[in-house]
Amino acid sequence: MTTVYPTIKRISGNNIASPIGYQAAGLHCGIKHKKNDLAVLVSEVPANAAGVYTTNAVQAAPLLITKEAIAETGKLQALIVNSGNANACTGKQGFIDAKKMQQLTADKLGITANLVGVASTGVIGEKMPMHCIEEGIPRLDPAAGLKGSIDFSQSILTTDTVSKNTAYRVEINGKTVTIAGTAKGSGMIHPNMATMLGFVTTDAAIESDHLHAALTSVVDRTFNSITVDGDTSTNDMVVVMANGLAKNEPLSPSHPDWPVFLQTLLHVCEDLGKMIAKDGEGATKLIEVEVTGAVSDAEARSIAKTVVGSPLVKTAVFGCDANWGRILAAVGYSGATLDPQAIHIQIGGTTVVEGGEPAPFSEDELIEYLKQPEIKLKVDVSQGMGHGLAWGCDLTYDYVQINASYRT
């Protein structure tokens, strides 16, 4: 269960440039018809960096270039991001174009190219309109403060209906450390990693290898615990940058404040993950599934992700149908260790299954509950102490409409 640390505070006016030493910008360069489609994030100094990437075997050129940049030095100083075109499955020209984006950004900022990460999102299989990129990058004017961060967060969106931002402050070694994040994602969302981009900034001092360990641990419980439609995309990554300007003692797993840092990072990533799930294409409801009593936390998360990813569960929630049989069936095919006669299920706090058998409940009351914008399902499998959470959304008519005409 989650430990509460009183020094962790969510801050208002949260934005990707909230930590010391970060600037951001975004603008419309012409990849999309009207909306912002090009963005840059910059640290005042080279920042230790870590990334976690899509598990799809088909990976886009920008992702591979970012992975290479971080592997080379363990650092990034800037990220250049575009939406509207994924630059995926574009062959040799895709790598040339992504490399050019990296170099143009480095030239604009006066830094070396290997300190620039590249991220793209949008339509797969179309060549990048580089004339737009070449004209847009010189016009990017990174700045601290809210406006640049808002422009950045809006420039990375595709079918999203809202931008997704969060930030927290925490005391570490008597120093105020800030962790902030922004993300995009709405469709093709499924563990592990999907058509989403997540960017996290912090002014904490932490070496790249420890930062990677922290990110990997947290992503497994957040971004890898969301699903919209069961599809995993080609471009998707979460990148974290730590520039050390808070001047705290360097963090590591042996540091007494390591758990506090991890928990703060978890809050940031969980906030963003839930925002993505809630903004699923065509979604009307956020679904949270909590599983207790599994043989391990990993199995609990597996059960939760299976339930929240079930199309039949998702459509039942959309239709306000308290069809607990669909939940029970999803638990059953999750692959986890189970005793069917020891399973308990609740919908919004109302017990609908007890000991593997139906429990009496009011259909009318649950119909009213299922009309709410946030739905909580709880499953206790009574096999151990494992606990896990997963988030998703309902499956609606609008999802089909959006994806039937995505390229047209």
CA distance 189 to 236: 10
195 is catalytic: yes
Q: Which residue type sits at 381?
A: V
CA distance 155 to 166: 16
Write phi, then psi, for 294 (nearest 5 degrees). -80, 170
CA distance 152 to 23: 10
Local structure of residue 151 (DSSP, 8 states):
H
Range 112-116, long-range pairs (CB < 8 A, 24+ positions)? 114/69, 114/72, 114/73, 115/46, 115/69, 115/73, 115/75, 115/76, 115/77, 115/78, 116/69, 116/76, 116/77, 116/78, 116/79, 116/80
CA distance 287 to 293: 20
Q: Which residue type sits at 388?
A: G
User: Coil, helix or strand for 375?
Assistant: strand
Point out the catalytic residue in the list 121, 166, 182, 195: 195
Range 125-128, long-range pairs (CB < 8 A, 24+ positions)? 125/88, 125/89, 125/90, 126/85, 126/90, 127/90, 127/93, 127/94, 127/97, 128/31, 128/82, 128/85, 128/87, 128/90, 128/94, 128/97, 128/98, 128/101
Element (H, E) at 226: strand 226-227
Tokens 């009351």 found at:
365
CA distances from 379 to 296, 365, 373 (A): 14, 19, 20
Terminal alpha carbon distance of the chain: 46
Beta carbons within 8 Å of 389's beta carbon, 6+ residues apart: 221, 225, 288, 289, 290, 291, 301, 304
Give the pairing of strands 38-53 and 22-27: antiparallel
Peptide bond into 192 cis (omega under 30): yes
Residues carrying an active site annotation: 195
